[in-house]
Amino acid sequence: MANSAQARKRARQANKHYQHNTAQRSNFRTFLKKVVKAIVIGNKEQAQAAYKAAVPVIDKMVSKGLIHKNKAARHKSRLNSRIFSMQTS
């Protein structure tokens, strides 16, 4: 347990940041799941719309420092290639 006032404050801040980051990470994963779900269903238009909504969220996670820029690029690239390879229906 933290003994000094400074250590107690840092512990409070760490917990607050942890909760905020966890919520943001969950939101990030939700947007990815929406794109994947549309791909699995086979609805290309819905998948493209979900992808366009997910890209700003992914980029925001990078700017906030929650994920690495290479991880964001990897997710965007893989989702986009899966959408591109879908059959137009």
CATH number at residue 29: 1.20.58.110
Domain hosting 40: range is: 5-84
Which of 24, 50, 45 has its CA nearest to residue 87? 45
**What does the alpha-carbon distance between residue 34 and residue 16 come to, in Å, rounded to a whole number?**
28
Render pLDDT for 6-24 as a digit per residue (tens, 0 to 9). 999 999 999 999 999 999 9
Q: What is the pLDDT, as a whole number, of residue 89?
A: 52
User: Cβ distance 48 to 80 under 8 Å?
Assistant: no
With 90 as the cut, is the pLDDT of residue 36 above it?
yes
Q: Is 89 domain-assigned?
A: no
Q: Is 15 domain-assigned?
A: yes
With 80 as the cut, is the pLDDT of residue 88 above it?
no
Which of 76, 46, 47 has its CA nearest to residue 59? 76
**What does the alpha-carbon distance between residue 76 and residue 58 come to, in Å, rounded to a whole number?**
8
With 60 as the cut, is the pLDDT of residue 45 above it?
yes
Band (pLDDT 50/70/90 cuts) for residue 3 is: confident
Number of domains, the chain: 1
Exposed, middle or buried, 85 (CB in 10 Å: 0-12/13-18/19+)? exposed
**What does the alpha-carbon distance between residue 46 and residue 34 come to, in Å, rounded to a whole number?**
9
Q: Is 59 domain-assigned?
A: yes
Render pLDDT for 55-87 as a digit per residue (tens, 0 to 9). 999 999 999 999 999 999 999 999 999 999 987
